[in-house]
Chains A and B, each alone.
Chain A
Amino acid sequence: MTVYFTREHEWIRIEGDTATIGISDHAQEALGDIVFAEVPEAGRKLSKGQEAAVVESVKAASDVYSPVSGEVTEGNQAVADDPALVNRDPEGEGWFFKLTLDNPGEVDGLMDEASYREWVKTL
């Protein structure tokens, strides 16, 4: 199991050909109180970099992009029902969606966790 991060503050956890995707602790902290989350439905095909989910705080609306291509197997109904879950546990229970990878090679070039945490400190 390996976790990668994007420069747009998504995280992606890879287990075999399955990926779980969410937003980083830094992203939830920056957004502030999250009041709305919209997650993709199972069966939706996503290409790398495509808008996949919506997250809104009191202050601002953002799109969550898919870091890889694949077919959505599950959107996290728990965050749609209780968006504040993303604030409480962004890199755990507050995940947005799972997908089956089209091309496992697409994660090459994403940051590993240590690199991301270091990079975020420079922002």
Chain B
Amino acid sequence: MSGDPQGGEGFEKPALEKLALDEWHRRQGGRMVPFAGYEMPVQYEGIMAEHLWARENAGLFDVSHMGQLLVHGIHVDAALETLLPGELKLLGDMRLRYSLLLAEDGGIIDDLMATRRGEEFYVVVNGATKHDDIDVLKHRLPKDAVVDHMREQALLALQGPKAAEVLEMLVPGVSELGFMQGGPFQACGHPAWISRSGYTGEDGFEISIHNIAAQQVADWLVGDERVKPIGLGARDSLRLEAGLPLYGHDLDRSTTPVMAGLGFAIGKRRRAERDFSGAARIFKEIEEGPAQKRVGLDVEGRQPVREGALVLDGEGNEVGRITSGGFSPSLQRPIAMGYVASHLAEPGTALKLEQRGKLFDARVAPLPFVPHRYHRKGANA
């Protein structure tokens, strides 16, 4: 049998960091693989079962590899707005916004979550890119802005339709948060910053807590029969079903917010002022249309089509590339995401995919593949 049957991420340098919960993951039966410079659990009992558990109950994810940054100084909102296209000046206190760190040519350096905490911003960036991000922020933000990397904080995500009822038992009041809202709480006697957010498409929370308290919180959560630990494998299949792009796969420095279908991350006022990094190219793309667009694809048959496969038009011309693909545990069929020439990006468009010399029929699908179930205040009972 070919390949690494562990499905390891490969291509990693050997010097790997350990998570605060490293021992805990091993005790839970986690299979550890190299990812973003850390040894991380790819799965515990199995990706399929974990994925479905998170969709039906509540799943606990350790995402402590991600970079937690605190940006402070005078007029931090204005400073961050030079590199991020979102509306930050008017962002309410303790509100989160999905945003993008942009290069001068409009390419995406990273995607992130930014939360206003009074005059400061709490920013969560991807694990594999955090050191580069910190460099970019330190060099390109106005001098008054100070970036602290909160290395002592672990980050846990509790995701799924039962997440709120479980976490409310540990942290009274937390279920009052609406989607994309956060606040300071106590968990197991330790201060915790908790927000109603995540990357699975489900309702859920992200819990930032000191490394020394992470195990106590994780133990309490999995002590509830509605909660199981979930590995990276299911995290990937959950976010793919939710149509959410993954940096380093669906987003990189060659993609822009317009190509990636992330125009919602560009604030209304920012569209008028056009004063952020990469604005010239981005507004040209908004006006003229990008050459390629990110789309979802339903794949015929049962065989997964994965990252790197080519997208072909009816005449066999290469018109794009798959950036994420796999088998959807919820839908029990293969799904994929990729970039295609803009004139072929309409849902329903028939395309061919080519992987290892084999052709697959596919059709452009609206995203998400599985509907989001966020807890939007006023929208939910």
- Residue numbers in A under 8 Å from B47 (CB-CB): 32-33, 57-59
CB-based contact A55/B302 at 8 Å? no
In chain B, residues 17-76, which have Cβ atoms closer than 8 Å to a Cβ of chain A?
A: 42-43, 46-49, 51
B interface, how many residues as a size bin? 20 to 34
B4 lies within 8 A of A60 (CB):
yes
Residue A36 interfacial (CB < 8 Å): yes
The closest CB in chain B to the CB of A58 belongs to: B47
B306 interfacial contact with A, CB 8 Å: yes
The proximity string for A residues 48-77 relative to B, scoring 1 for CB distances below 8 Å and 0 otherwise, is 000100111111111111000000000000
Is B90 in the interface zone, CB < 8 Å from A?
A: no
A30 CB contact (under 8 Å) in B6, B51, B237, B326:
B6
Interface SS of B by simple majority: loop
Query: Once A and B bind, how many residue pairs between them come within 8 Å at the CB atom?
Result: 72
Whole-angstrom CA separation of A50 from B192 in the bound complex: 56
Q: Are A33 and B1 in contact (CB under 8 A)?
A: no
The chain B residues found within 8 Å of chain A, CB to CB, are: 1-7, 42-43, 46-49, 51, 233, 237, 302-304, 306, 326-327, 329
9 closest Cβ contacts across the A-B interface? A59-B7, A60-B7, A30-B5, A33-B48, A35-B327, A63-B2, A58-B47, A36-B303, A62-B3
**Could you tell me the distance between the alpha carbons of A33 and B47 in the complex, rounded to whole angstroms?**
7
Q: CB < 8 Å: which of A36, A54, A60, A65 contacts B5?
A: A60
- The A contact surface, by secondary structure, is strand
Question: In the complex the two chains form, is A35's CB within 8 Å of B1's CB?
Answer: no
Task: Identify which of residues 70-119 in chain A touch chain B, using a CB-to-CB cut-off of 8 Å.
Answer: 83
Contact partner, A8, options B2, B51, B306, Cβ 8 Å = B2
Chain A, interface size category, equals: 20 to 34
Given contacts A35-B304, A36-B303, A56-B303, contact A62 B1 (CB under 8 A): yes
When the two chains form the complex, which single residue of B5, B302, B303, B329 contacts A58, counting CB atoms closer than 8 Å?
Answer: B329
A120 CA to B323 CA in the complex, in Å?
A: 34
A32, B7: Cβ atoms under 8 Å?
yes
A9 vs B326: C-alpha distance in the bound complex, in angstroms? 24
Q: List 15 A-B contacts (CB under 8 A).
A: A9-B1, A10-B1, A27-B5, A32-B43, A36-B304, A51-B2, A58-B48, A58-B237, A60-B3, A60-B5, A61-B3, A61-B304, A62-B1, A63-B3, A64-B1
Residue from A23, A31, A35, A65 within 8 A of B7 (CB atoms): A31
What 6 new A-B contacts, CB under 8 Å, besides A32-B7, A56-B303, A60-B3? A32-B47, A35-B302, A35-B304, A58-B237, A59-B7, A65-B2
